[in-house]
Amino acid sequence: MKRDEQYKPIVGEAGKSAMESLKNEVIAPLEREAEKLKDPVVLAALMHTAAAERENTNRLLKTIIEKLDARFSQMEARIERLEKSAAGQDRQEEVLLPSVDEQIMEFVKKQGHASAEEVRQKFGYKGKNAASARLNHLCGLGLLCKKQVGRIVVFCPAK
- At residue 82 the predicted structure's pLDDT band, cuts being 50, 70 and 90, is confident
Q: What is the pLDDT of residues 98-125, one digit of tens each?
A: 888 899 999 999 999 999 999 999 998 8
- The CA distance from 55 to 50, in Å, is 9
pLDDT at residue 146 tops 60:
yes
pTM assigned to the model: 0.42
Multiple choice CATH, 95-157, 3.30.1050.10, 3.50.50.60, 1.10.3720.10, 1.10.10.10: 1.10.10.10
> Side-chain half-sphere of 137: how many Cα atoms within 13 Å?
14
Beta carbons of 112 and 156 less than 8 angstroms apart: yes
- At residue 159 the predicted structure's pLDDT band, cuts being 50, 70 and 90, is confident
The pLDDT, as a whole number, for residue 62 is 95
Highest mean pLDDT among 3-7, 35-39, 60-64, 123-127: 60-64
Q: Where exactly are the structural domains of the chain?
A: 10-94, 95-157
User: H helices of the chain, where?
Assistant: 3-6, 13-22, 28-36, 40-91, 99-111, 116-123, 128-140
